[in-house]
Amino acid sequence: SQTIHQWPATLVQPVGSPLSLECTVEGTSNPNLYWYRQAAGRGLQLLFYSVGIGQISSEVPQNLSASRPQDRQFILSSKKLLLSDSGFYLCAWSVLGSGGSKETQYFGPGTRLLVL
Amino acid sequence: AQTVTQSQPEMSVQEAETVTLSCTYDTSESDYYLFWYKQPPSRQMILVIRQEAYKQQNATENRFSVNFQKAAKSFSLKISDSQLGDAAMYFCAYRSARWGSNYKLTFGKGTLLTVNP
């Protein structure tokens, strides 16, 4: 069965410091991968998605970036964190389903990021 | 752009009873997918149920079922025999089935469900 891992689970970082969040998926191949952010008391906002190695699409222009160095690895980065980057970051994956597309997304446990 | 509206910020239900959570959406597309996700205090998003718009039959998953009204653009979630473990934030989400769409899930703002013993 497929599993998805995210680390770290919790992170407290000072403003201006770099960031690297990692997501890996096991038990599947060629998944679509996604990064979402959830601010306190709000719904989820798609930040990046990837349909393959090295293929990244950005939904929201900001100081974050994403990379996919391997088929089942997705990394969210920043060179300099802002206070507004605080939030809950969720990685998700999808594979070809009964609907004929990679329509159903499954989420990881998330990373709580607090920027001080 | 598609929007998803959950008009009930909070709901409560007695254990073993039934509760219905509302969701409406706005789209000009005819083919799409709808989902309900559950987010317990751990904050991991858990898929509860999904519906393909081209299917008229309402999806069911054990105690969870939906009432999908395509013309009304309504997608409500019914939880039967509510259990304490059902307490969570519930999110309704929309995804276009259009080829070349950006795979984005558009979420509502959520409904916080409390289950009373």
Answer whether A106 touches B (CB < 8 Å): yes
| Chain B from 72 to 111: CB within 8 A of any A CB | 91, 95, 97, 102-105, 107-110
- pLDDT, mean of residues A3-14: 95
Residue A50 CB partners (closer than 8 Å, separation 6+): A32, A33, A34, A56, A57, A66, A68, A74
- In this complex, do A32 and B103 lie within 8 Å of one another by their Cβ atoms? yes
Q: What is the pLDDT of residues A18-76, one digit of tens each?
A: 999 999 999 988 899 999 999 876 778 899 999 899 999 988 867 899 999 999 999 99
What is the residue-wise DSSP string for A17-50? --EEEEEEEES-SS-EEEEEEE-TTS-EEEEEEE
Question: A17: how many CB neighbours lie within 10 A of its CB?
Answer: 12
* Chain B partners within 8 Å of A38 (Cβ): 43
What secondary structure, in 3-state letters, does A57-76 show? EECCCCCEEEEEEECCEEEE
Q: How do beta strands B88-96 and B111-116 pair?
A: antiparallel
> What is the residue type of A55?
Q
Which backbone phi and psi does B24 adopt, to 5 degrees? -125, 155
Each residue of A100-114: pLDDT tens digit? 666 789 999 999 999
In this structure, chain B runs to a length of 117
Tell if the CB–CB gap between A92 and B45 is shorter than 8 Å.
Answer: yes
Instruction: Count H helices and E strands in chain A, helices first.
Output: 0, 11
Q: Is B109 left (phi over 0), alpha (psi -120 to 50) or beta?
A: alpha
Q: Are B107 and A105 in contact (CB under 8 A)?
A: no
Quick one: pLDDT at residue A77?
96
Q: Quick one: tokens of A2? A: 């497929």
pLDDT for res A95: 81
- Predicted local confidence at residue A99, as pLDDT: 59
Q: How far apart are CA A25 and CA A73, in angstroms?
A: 7
- At B101 the pLDDT is 65
Per-residue pLDDT of chain B (117 residues; tens, 9 = 90+): 789 999 999 999 999 999 999 999 999 998 899 999 999 998 999 999 999 998 889 999 999 999 999 999 999 999 999 999 999 999 999 998 877 666 788 999 999 999 999
The dihedral built from the CA positions of residue B58, B15, B12 and A37, taken in this order, carries a sign that is: negative
- Chain B nearest C-alpha distance from A40 (Å): 11
Helix (H, G, I), strand (E, B) or coil at B90: strand
Taking the Cβ of residue A86 and every Cβ of chain B, the question of whether any pair is shorter than 8 Å is answered with no
What is the rounded average pLDDT for all residues in chain A?
90
* pLDDT (0 to 100) of residue A62: 79
Alpha carbons A30 and A42: distance in angstroms, whole number: 30
- Give pLDDT, residue A86: 92
Residues 6+ positions from A61 with CB-CB distance below 8 Å? none
Residues of A within 8 A of B3 (CB-CB) are: none
Beta bridge partners of A26: A3
Question: What pLDDT score was predicted for residue A1?
Answer: 81
Whether A96 has a pLDDT exceeding 80, the answer reads no
Q: How far apart are CA A6 and CA A57, in angstroms?
A: 20
* Cα-based torsion angle of the residue sequence B14, B19, B22, B23 in order, rounded to the nearest 10 degrees: 100
